[in-house]
Chains A and B, each alone.
Chain A
Amino acid sequence: DIQMTQSPSSLSASVGDRVTITCRASQSVSSFLNWYQQKPGTAPKLLIYAASTLQSGVPSRFNGSRSGTDFTLTISSLQSEDIATYYCQQSFSTPRTFGQGTKLDIK
């Protein structure tokens, strides 16, 4: 199985900050990497698929990139509504593994 390792596990930042979350795959997943945002008590929301394609309706301050087996989710200017837990997930093979999550809050 492909293991997905996110870092950091938690993060505090101020409104307006640039925030970066990293996800590393234990083996190649090509660009089949997706990012989700989950707010407490709600279902996850797809932000980015195929490593860097923004899902329709997602603000352009969210950006995804790939370098080999390392993937990055960047929020260019943190807004208060971005407080949530973020998960990466590979869709290269089954099982479709998720990272353990990164909890983002306001400093």
Chain B
Amino acid sequence: DVQLLESGGGLVQPGGSLRLSCAASGFNFDNYAMSWVRQAPGKGLEWVAVISGDGGSTYYADSVKGRFTISRDNSRNTLYLQMDSLRAEATAVYYCARGGFCSGVYCHTISYDRTGFDYWGQGTLVTVSS
């Protein structure tokens, strides 16, 4: 079975840093684009970032560009989100989600990442507060 398990959330002060992890199992991790999506308390879904299957291409929401970094370790089947210079508005549940399937050279881009997010983790809560 496909499983995505986030960890690393918690309480952090404004201006601080946090690194989220998402451990994947049950599928060939390096054949899929992966995204982070967040949801502030009582609010809707906000896409945060995407990374290609080989990790060579990354894209971010304007709200986090320059402060968040998405990365992956395909040898460990793990997705990461490094969050720096955190602000109160980053308080949210953060989900990792599986995107589109790729093979070969296409895994360097996200051009195949068009079929939505078919598996999601359970989410990890990040609270930015003093």
State the A residues within 8 Å of B (CB): 1, 32, 34, 36, 38, 43-46, 49-50, 55, 85, 87, 89, 91-92, 94-101
Given contacts A1-B62, A44-B117, 12 further A-B contacts (CB under 8 A): A32-B114, A34-B115, A44-B37, A46-B117, A49-B116, A49-B118, A91-B116, A94-B59, A95-B60, A96-B35, A98-B45, A98-B47
Contacts of B116 in A (CB 8 A): 34, 36, 46, 49, 55, 89, 91
Q: Can you list 25 pairs linking A and B with CB atoms under 8 Å apart?
A: A32-B114, A36-B45, A36-B117, A43-B95, A43-B120, A43-B122, A44-B95, A44-B120, A46-B116, A46-B117, A49-B114, A55-B116, A87-B45, A89-B45, A89-B47, A89-B116, A91-B115, A92-B114, A94-B50, A94-B110, A95-B60, A95-B61, A98-B44, A98-B45, A98-B46
Query: Which B residues from 86 to 130 make CB contacts under 8 A with A?
Result: 95, 100, 110, 113-118, 120-123
Query: Which B residues from 31 to 62 make CB contacts under 8 A with A?
Result: 35, 37, 44-47, 50, 59-62
Contacts of B50 in A (CB 8 A): 94, 96
Range class of the B interface residue count: 20 to 34
Chain B residues touching A, majority SS: loop
Per the bound structure, the CA–CA distance linking A101 and B43 in Å amounts to 9
Contacts of B118 in A (CB 8 A): 46, 49, 55
Assess A95 versus B62: contact at CB under 8 Å? Given A43-B122, A89-B47.
yes
Shortest C-beta distance, B58 to chain A (Å), equals: 10
Shortest C-beta distance, B119 to chain A (Å), equals: 8
Contact of A96 among B44, B47, B62 (CB under 8 A): B47
